[in-house]
Amino acid sequence: MAQPDLVLSRYLVFSETTYRHPGGRHLRAVFHTGRARTLLLDTDTAHTLVAGPGPAGLPVDEQLRLAELGLLVPADTDEASEVISTGEQAAGDTRTRQFVIMPTAYCNMGCGYCGQEHRRDTPATRPTRHRDAIATRVEHAMAGGEHDNVVVRWFGGEPLMGYAVLRSLSARFVAAAAHHQVGYSALLVTNGALLDARKLRTLHLDCRVDQLEITIDGPREVHEASRPLNSGQGSYDRITAALRAILADPDLTGLRVTVRTNIGVHNADQATEFATAMRDAGLADPRIRFYPAPVHSWGNDVSDVRLRRRQAAETELRWYAAYLAAGLHCRVLPTQPVRVVCTAASRHSEVIAPDGRIYSCTEQPLVPGFTDQHVATVDTAPAGELRPAGRFDDWYAGLRSGETGCRTCPILPVCGGACPKLWREGAPPCPPLKDNLSERVDLFVRSTGLVPV
């Protein structure tokens, strides 16, 4: 059979640097965004592919080897359509159902860049009917026989301000999952200020929270200024103590933690100080993963704090480099493709606000100007049905038709399109990765011990 013409995959990002292998060969690195993998090619091969005659300039067996690795594809392959279709299938996958639940509308912090409006009303103030409706909805999802797994993401406000609600709902979810023999796991997004060793045990061992996402915005003084508690007290020492408590408790080895730092003009230059402080606090441990997240607008004005695009890309690189230098754990490069960009792109995910409204997008509840964009309420939505359609359920059709710039973007497989809501508000949400991927490849390759020539 004739060999099909092979061309370079559109999902390759080459580093510009040449590295010396310990055996003496010279290598170039390439990141395959479709497979979220870094590959090393000898410089002659890389040159032939990128600057020379292209794949046809390589021996056939070498072409086939590179095709196996996904670097070359048949010339008639529509890779973008394949990526979009794979995402669409994943969004329609019934095996996992996700509920993002906000147990409270209140937060004990007053971060200047936050786009939410916090109030003190919770389901706890309207106890049983409301809480029952949420529990019934999740229990129906478990009982329906369609889903193998139910995942709950506790989100806020500050979810631990609704700790009693979180605990009582978790008890029902855990019991129902056991009864109906479906998988159950939970993730908690928290500012961390209310965590202590005892709560951590309850959350992990009783409430089955197996992932925590905690925010620390810099070394102590920077963090306290950026994320002030309404009480006027500090939270940095409490958060770092809680993180150490996780590492010290042998019953919490299954609890994984990510520490996010919201990066803006207020802390962009604090990378080394922060990474050193985290290391000195005893947090250089594989169970704690750090990442920087540039501050963005939720519809609020963050122009005073937000970094410009190029600055955000450079800053992110410096933060990753500082993590590595301090021995902290992080993922410099994506480790898997993003199939479903967010809750809003799948009807198998929904967001339940503290007032019982159901949304498709996490940045509609509590955000002024968006709170009336709910698709139902827990009282009126049929408990056994998926949420009604939201305004981003046609996301994959939009990608396919070229509504955004994503269809032709080389990092679509690891970005997913970032945020349907921002695209439709006319604010392209491209992450810094779009601008700094080849430098991040270099950072990663150097971290493996290879030396630039």
The window from 84-92, 236-244, 408-416, 440-448 that contacts ligand SF4 (CB under 6 A) reads: 408-416
Contact by Cβ (8 Å): 101, 349: no
The nearer residue to ligand SF4, 66 or 411, going by C-beta atoms, is: 411
Q: Is 99 in the site for ligand SF4 (CB under 6 A)?
A: no
**Which stretches does DSSP call E strand in 109-161?**
149-154
CA distances from 291 to 157, 213, 323 (A): 21, 10, 9
- Classify residue 320 as exposed, middle or buried by CB count within 10 Å of its CB (0-12, 13-18, 19+): buried
Q: Is 217 in the site for ligand SF4 (CB under 6 A)?
A: no
CA angle centred on 230, ends 228 and 234, rounded to 5°: 45
Query: How far, in Å, CA of 391 to CA of 249, rounded?
Result: 44
Among 131, 147, 357, 421, binds ligand SF4 (CB under 6 A): 421
Among 247, 265, 409, 443, binds ligand SF4 (CB under 6 A): 409
Q: Other C-beta atoms within 10 Å of 147: how many?
A: 20
The nearer residue to ligand SF4, 207 or 422, going by C-beta atoms, is: 422
Q: Is 339 in the site for ligand SF4 (CB under 6 A)?
A: no
Tell me which residue has tokens 């019991």.
Answer: 175
Q: Is 332 in the site for ligand SF4 (CB under 6 A)?
A: no
Q: At what angle do helices 127-143 and 163-180 cross, to 10 degrees?
A: 30
Binding characters for ligand SF4, 287-326, by CB under 6 A (x = yes): ----------------------------------------
What does the block give as tokens for 114? 């936050």
The nearer residue to ligand SF4, 240 or 436, going by C-beta atoms, is: 436
The nearer residue to ligand SF4, 15 or 346, going by C-beta atoms, is: 346
18 three-state secondary structure: strand
CA 262 to chain centre: 13
Among 404, 441, 442, 444, binds ligand SF4 (CB under 6 A): 404
Among 261, 417, 437, 440, binds ligand SF4 (CB under 6 A): 417
Among 344, 353, 375, 441, binds ligand SF4 (CB under 6 A): 344
Contact by Cβ (8 Å): 207, 103: no
Among 88, 139, 316, 363, binds ligand SF4 (CB under 6 A): 363
The window from 40-48, 103-111, 271-279, 336-344 that contacts ligand SF4 (CB under 6 A) reads: 336-344
Residue 446: CB minimum distance to ligand SF4, A? 24
Among 6, 30, 135, 419, binds ligand SF4 (CB under 6 A): 419
Contacts to ligand SF4 from residues 427-446, by CB under 6 A: 429-430, 434
The nearer residue to ligand SF4, 218 or 432, going by C-beta atoms, is: 432
What does the block give as tokens for 168? 């009582």
Size of the site for ligand SF4 (CB under 6 A): 23
Residue type, 334: P
Residue 342: CB minimum distance to ligand SF4, A? 3
**Please, what is the end-to-end C-alpha distance for the chain in angstroms?**
42
Query: How far, in Å, CA of 65 to CA of 18, rounded?
Result: 22
Contact by Cβ (8 Å): 317, 68: no
Q: Residues interacting with ligand SF4, by CB under 6 A?
A: 342-344, 361-363, 392, 404-406, 409, 411-412, 415, 417-422, 429-430, 434
